[in-house]
Amino acid sequence: MAGPAGVPVTEHDVNADGTVRDAAVALWVDAARQAYLDHCALLQRLRERSGLTLRHRTGTLPAGALLGRPTSVVISASTTEFRPRSFTISMRLRPRGGDQEVALNAASVIRLEDPTTGEVVELGPPAAFLLIALPRCLDAGPTLLIPFSSDLWIPPGPSHPLLPRRMTRG
C-alpha cells in the first residue's frame, strides 16, 4: 500500500550539500498552518462576522538539515491543545525518499483578537469541541494536510456568544 503523497523537495528547498534549508521548513509550516485554518469554516465565519483578527505565533522551528536529503516531505497538521483564549496547531514533517527517517515537529498558537482594543477573545467550549474532537473522528485518508470540516455537528448544550445562532443546539 502506498503512503501519503508529500511536498516535492526542489532545488530551491535545499542547501549546497543537499539538505533541506531552514527557510523551506518555515514555508512548509506556514503553508500547513494556513491550509488547516482555511478548513476551519466556523472559525472563518466567526472572524468575518465579528470583525476579529486571527493572530498566530509559531514557536522555534526545527533545523531543516535534520530532515536530511528527502525527495519529498509529508506534512500533517492538527489541533493538539486548547485553552480558553487560544489553541495550538501542531505540524509534523516527515521526510520521504532520503537518508533520514526522523519526524520533526512545529507548533503555532492561534488566537482571535479585537483589532481595536487588542483584547484576546475567549473561544469557549463549543470551539474546543470543533477544533479538537472532530478532527480525531474524521478519516481524512492519504492527504498532504489533514483538514476537517467544522460544519458536521454541534454538540447539545447552551448557545455560545461567539457561535452563530443557527449553529447552536439547545
Contacts of 10 (CB under 8 A, 6+ apart): none
Query: What pLDDT is stored for residue 168 in this prediction?
Result: 36
Query: What pLDDT is stored for residue 58 in this prediction?
Result: 95
Query: What pLDDT is stored for residue 19 in this prediction?
Result: 95
Listed in order, strand segments (DSSP E) in 2-160 are 7-8, 53-58, 72-83, 86-96, 104-113
Question: Which cell goes with 60?
Answer: 522555534
- Domain ranges within the chain, ordered by starting residue: 7-150
Looking at residue 148, its amino acid is F
Classify the C-alpha dihedral 29-26-31-24 as positive or negative.
negative
64 vs 12: CA distance, rounded Å: 13
Q: pLDDT by residue for the chain (170 residues), tens digit each?
A: 344 557 899 999 999 999 999 999 999 999 999 888 887 877 787 788 889 999 999 999 999 999 999 999 999 888 888 888 888 999 999 999 988 889 999 999 999 999 999 999 887 766 665 665 545 444 343 333 333 333 333 333 344 444 444 433 33
Q: Give CA separation, 115 vs 24, 41, 88, 127, in Å.
A: 31, 21, 21, 20
Contact yes or no for 104/72 (Cβ under 8 A): no
Q: Whole-model pTM? A: 0.73
Q: What is the CA radius of gyration of the chain?
A: 18
Query: What pLDDT is stored for residue 43 in this prediction?
Result: 78
Query: What pLDDT is stored for residue 148 in this prediction?
Result: 32
Query: What pLDDT is stored for residue 141 in this prediction?
Result: 34
Closest residue by Cα to residue 121 from 17, 28, 33, 49: 49
Could you tell me which CATH class the domain 7-150 is placed in?
Answer: alpha beta
